[in-house]
C-alpha cells in the first residue's frame, strides 16, 4: 500500500516506517522535525535498503497536506505526529490543543476530501486517567488528568463522530501503554530533546554518565516494593501492532480501540535493577516525593488486540532494557551530529 506516516521521523514513527518498508509498503513521511532529527529516517533507509520521502512540513499548514495528497494519493494514514510532554502541556495548553487537535482536524479534512478513509491513530493509555480496575480493558471509563491527555481524548471523540457520520471510515485508536526499547541493531531509538521525562531515557542517561542518579518518584505506593508499576512495551512490538491494525482495517473497516501493552506490570525499582544487571554497572537512585499526576499502577488487558487483530507483544522486560542499552551505549548523544556537553541534572 501507499502509506502516509505523520510524525514518521519520531521515536515510534521510525520503528514503524522501518517495518512498513520491510513488508514492502511504499511510505512517505510528513514531519516538521520539531522533536526529531532527519538522521533517524536516514538510518531507517539504510536498515531497510529502501528510500522514504520526507516532507518537512507541518500538519498545521493545510496547504502542505493538500499538496502531498494531491501529488501522491496515499491509501492509508498512520498518524503519530503530536506533542507528548505532559508537563509542557500543563504550561502551554493552547500549543497542545493547536498541534494535537487542530493538526489532526486538518489531516482528517484533507483525508476526507481525497477519499482516503483508513486511519491508524496514536492514542495513549493516558485516556484511562486514574483507572479504577487493573488490568485496564478498552471499555473502562475514559478521563484525562492533564491537557496532553485531553488532546488525545478530544481526538478520539472526533474520530468517533467521524466514523458515526460515514461508515466508509476505517479507524483504529491504538492506546499505547509505556513504549520503551529500540531496534535490535542499535541504529534507531528514542532520542529525547532536552531533559527527558520518561523513566527509561532517564535511567539510560544515568548509565552513560550524563546524569548523576535516577530520582524515583515515590516509594510509598500500595505496590509490592512501594514504587510505581507500569506496563512497558517494546517499541518493535508496538510497531507491529500498527501493521496488524492496518491489515485488519483494510479487510474489515469499522472503528476500533485497541490497547497495545504486554499485560505485565513492572515496578520502577525492577526496571532500575534490570538495567543495572544488563549494563553491568551501578545505577544510583534516590527515592523522592511522588510526581504530581502519577498513578500507582497501570497495566493493560491486551486480549482484545490478540483476539481481533492477532497481535501480542513478544519481547519481555530484559529485552526492552537490553535494546535500550544497546542503542544508548552506541549513541550516547542520540542522533546529534556533534558532541554535546553533559546534560545538567536539574537538581
Applying CB under 6 A, among 27, 77, 103, 205 the residue interacting with ligand NAD is: 103
Residue 228 makes contact with ligand UD1 by CB under 6 A = yes
What's the number of CA atoms in the CB half-sphere (13 Å) around residue 126? Answer: 23
Residue 268 makes contact with ligand UD1 by CB under 6 A = yes
Smallest gap, in angstroms, from Cβ of residue 112 to ligand UD1?
A: 28
Output the residue with the shortest Cβ distance to ligand NAD. Answer: 10
Span of 74-82, 181-189, 273-281, 317-325 interacting with ligand NAD by CB under 6 A:
74-82
Residue 179 makes contact with ligand NAD by CB under 6 A = yes
Q: Which of 11, 96, 128, 148 is catalytic?
A: 148
Give buried/exposed letters for 196-233 (b at 16+ CB in 10 A, else e): bebbbbbbbbbbbebbeebbbbbbebebeebbbbbbbb
Q: Are 257 and 173 in contact (CB under 8 A)?
A: yes
Applying CB under 6 A, among 19, 28, 36, 104 the residue interacting with ligand NAD is: 36
286 has which bridge partners? Answer: 215
118 has which bridge partners? Answer: 170
Smallest gap, in angstroms, from Cβ of residue 7 to ligand NAD?
A: 3
The kind and range of the H/E element at 15 are helix 11-22
Applying CB under 6 A, among 55, 183, 187, 230 the residue interacting with ligand UD1 is: 230
Residue 293 makes contact with ligand UD1 by CB under 6 A = yes
Q: Which runs of E-coded beta strand occur in the chain?
A: 2-6, 26-30, 53-55, 76-79, 118-124, 170-176, 178-180, 214-217, 229-230, 232-234, 254-260, 266-267, 285-288, 297-298
Q: Is 299 a catalytic residue?
A: no
Q: Which is nearer to ligand NAD, 130 or 212 (CB)?
A: 130
Binding site residues, ligand UD1, CB under 6 A: 84, 86, 124, 126, 148-149, 178, 197-199, 202, 214-217, 228, 230, 268, 291, 293-294
Residue numbers annotated as active site: 148
Amino acid at each position: 500500500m501507499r502509506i502516509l506516516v505523520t510524525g514518521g521521523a519520531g521515536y515510534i514513527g521510525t520503528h514503524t516506517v522501518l517495518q512498513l518498508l520491510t513488508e514492502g509498503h511504499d511510505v512517505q513521511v510528513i514531519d516538521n522535525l520539531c522533536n526529531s532529527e532527519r538522521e533517524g529516517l536516514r538510518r531507517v533507509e539504510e536498515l531497510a535498503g529502501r528510500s522514504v520521502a520526507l516532507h518537512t512540513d507541518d500538519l498545521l499548514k493545510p496547504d502542505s497536506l493538500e499538496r502531498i495528497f494531491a501529488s501522491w494519493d496515499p491509501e492509508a494514514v498512520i498518524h503519530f505526529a503530536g506533542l507528548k510532554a505532559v508537563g509542557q502541556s500543563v504550561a502551554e495548553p493552547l500549543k497542545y490543543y493547536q498541534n494535537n487537535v487542530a493538526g489532526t482536524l486538518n489531516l482528517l479534512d484533507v483525508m476526507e476530501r481525497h477519499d482516503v478513509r483508513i486511519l491508524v491513530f496514536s492514542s495513549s493509555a493516558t485516556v484511562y486517567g486514574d483507572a479504577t480496575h487493573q488490568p485496564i480493558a478498552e471499555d473502562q471509563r475514559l478521563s484525562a488528568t492533564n491537557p496532553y491527555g485531553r488532546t488525545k481524548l478530544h481526538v478520539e471523540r472526533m474520530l468517533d463522530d467521524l466514523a458515526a457520520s460515514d461508515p466508509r471510515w476505517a479507524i483504529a485508536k491504538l492506546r499505547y501503554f509505556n513504549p520503551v526499547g529500540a531496534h535490535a541493531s542499535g541504529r534507531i531509538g528514542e532520542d529525547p530533546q532536552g531533559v527527558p521525562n520518561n523513566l527509561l531515557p532517564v535511567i539510560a542517561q544515568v548509565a552513560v554518565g550524563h546524569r548523576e542518579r535516577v530520582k524515583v518518584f515515590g516509594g510509598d505506593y500500595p505496590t509490592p516494593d512501594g514504587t510505581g508499576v507500569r506496563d512497558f512495551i517494546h517499541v518493535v512490538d508496538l510497531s507491529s501492532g500498527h501493521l496488524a491494525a492496518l491489515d485488519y482495517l483494510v479487510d474489515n473497516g469499522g472503528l476500533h480501540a485497541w490497547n497495545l501493552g504486554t499485560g505485565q506490570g513492572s515496578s520502577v525499582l525492577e526496571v532500575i535493577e534490570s538495567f543495572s544487571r544488563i549494563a553491568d554497572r551501578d545505577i544510583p537512585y534516590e527515592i523522592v516525593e511522588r510526581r504530581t499526576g502519577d498513578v500507582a499502577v497501570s497495566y493493560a488487558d491486551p486480549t482484545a488486540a490478540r483476539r481481533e487483530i492477532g497481535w501480542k507483544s513478544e519481547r519481555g522486560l530484559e529485552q526492552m532494557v537490553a535494546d535500550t542499552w544497546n542503542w544508548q551505549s552506541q549513541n550516547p548523544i542520540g542522533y546529534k551530529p556533534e558532541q554535546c556537553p553533559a546534560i545538567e541534572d536539574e537538581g
